Amino acid sequence: MSVTVVGAGLAGCEAAWQLAARGIPVRLVEMKPAKKTPAHVSDDFCELVCSNSLRSDELTNAVGLLKEEMRRLDSLVMSCADETRVPAGGALAVDRAAFAGRVTQRLLAHPLVSLVSREQLEIPEGRVIIATGPLTSDGFTAAIGGLLGSEKFLSFYDAAAPIVAFESIDMDSAYFASRYGKGSADYVNCPMTKEEYLAFRQALCTAEEAHVHGFEDAGVFEGCMPIEVMARRGEDTMRFGPLKPVGLVDPKTGRAPYAVVQLRKDNAAGTLYNIVGFQTHLKFPEQKRVFSMIPALKNAEFARYGVMHRNTYLDAPRLLDRYYRLRTAPRVSFAGQMTGVEGYVESAASGLLAGLETARELQGLPAADFPAETALGALALYVSGGSVGEFQPMNINFGIISPLPYKVKGKRNKNQEISKRALDIIDGYRVGGDMQ
């Protein structure tokens, strides 16, 4: 039996790979290049819209654990990310174009994957994994609504940060460093004095915003909050967020500045850098005016301005089981941000689990049932019923992973021990042959 995967983003590509790698033929439906959303520019699969960072790569961080679990389960997304990584201190960041190209090339080269380039307008027959993402087309959204009931949809707003040309950065007003000297000095740090910071914040608070239908500050997911929304929340909010100066000593002064704007390499050549944490929905001329108030960016050339779009997700605890299958129609699975997972890695992880479990079911094998002691299992169990109160998108974190049954002194040591336990469980699946 074959499986139709709708959507060739992070989740859809990972689901298709897991199925094909286990001998299940895949029909991959993707509307690009014939039709693109306003946020997409590339024809390739797995286009990273908001950022080129997959966040921390350390096992003392929950997303670092999730990535390592995926690596050990032969994740396509993680393999291609590792092959196209760019320096980013303790984080895993990629060259966007190279990453998307690598995923596209490897997936289309698989003999069991066939591509259908068109917009899907109805729910396919047979087994299907829907991974069309937060920017699902209106036509297919209507089809999903017909399957679920339109009242089951929820939404929040997501924003992407601007990208500037490295040669336009005033390096006399900036310096290379990573926070606390962790890893190599991969970030360009743009210091600001108190006076510069306060003037910048005031400009952000009063800058003209682009109209986004239905947008309200309250509808913004905390992990992707526009910088101007953050500025309005308080004088020091940004200095405790993306402009935090702690651990970024300026070599010119020998001390940390009042505030620091960080830039992260966006491509392998190092010609483009994105402004870390500067998701925004300001009008383009306003972005140029306000962001140029940062001393090191006074002459910045913007390769891309920030954009904002609406993300749509499901009321997953009511609709989905731990395998991301629709409870009322188990032949249909969902994966990616539509399920309420938040983040690139989490989206790919949901696709991995949905593809792997679908393949096992079709082959008559028992479900893997990754437990809550693993990041993969904890995320799926949270999304399918672990939330309390109103369901909102969730990043992976140690708070949703089962705690240790014994005490460990020190947060980093505890997290390291949780990660070791999780990876031992994943390795147990692999050694036993269960993941083949």
Mean pLDDT computed over every residue of the chain? 90
- Residue 226: asked if its preceding bond is cis (omega within 30°), the reply is no
Amino acid at residue number 429: Y
Amino acid at residue number 181: G
The partner residues of 220 in beta bridges, in order of sequence, read 157
pLDDT of residue 215 exceeding 70: no
pLDDT value of residue 90: 85
**Is position 10 annotated in a ligand binding site?**
yes
Q: What is the 3-state secondary structure (H, E, C) of 113-151?
A: EEEEECCCCCCCCCCEEECCCCCCCHHHHHHHHHHHCHH
pLDDT value of residue 432: 54
Give the model's confidence band at 375: pLDDT under 50 very low, under 70 low, under 90 confident, else very high.
very high
Rounded to whole angstroms, the Cα distance separating 290 from 282 reads 9
Task: Check if the beta carbon of residue 31 is closer than 8 Å to that of residue 120.
Answer: yes
Strands 325-326 and 329-334, by their bridges, are antiparallel
Task: Summarize pLDDT for 145-154 with one digit per residue, the tens.
Answer: 899 886 567 7
Domains observed in the chain: 3-156+312-431 (3.50.50.60), 162-305 (2.40.30)
Helix, strand or coil, per DSSP, at residue 114 = strand
What burial letters (b/e) apply to 130-152, b meaning 16+ CB within 10 Å? bbbbbbbeeebeebbeebbeeee
Task: Summarize pLDDT for 81-130 with one digit per residue, the tens.
Answer: 999 999 888 889 999 999 999 999 999 999 999 999 999 999 999 999 99
Task: Check if the beta carbon of residue 72 is closer than 8 Å to that of residue 427.
Answer: yes
The region of weakest confidence among 215-224, 242-251, 253-262, 308-317 is 215-224
**Is position 143 annotated in a ligand binding site?**
no
pLDDT of residue 25 exceeding 90: yes
Give the model's confidence band at 433: pLDDT under 50 very low, under 70 low, under 90 confident, else very high.
low
**Is position 11 annotated in a ligand binding site?**
yes
Lookup: tokens for 180: 């606390």
Our CA angle for 48, 228, 276, nearest 5°, is 40
pLDDT of residue 213 exceeding 60: no
**Is position 177 annotated in a ligand binding site?**
no
pLDDT of residue 8 exceeding 50: yes
Rounded to whole angstroms, the Cα distance separating 418 from 74 reads 21
Average the pLDDT over 3-12 and give the result. Answer: 97
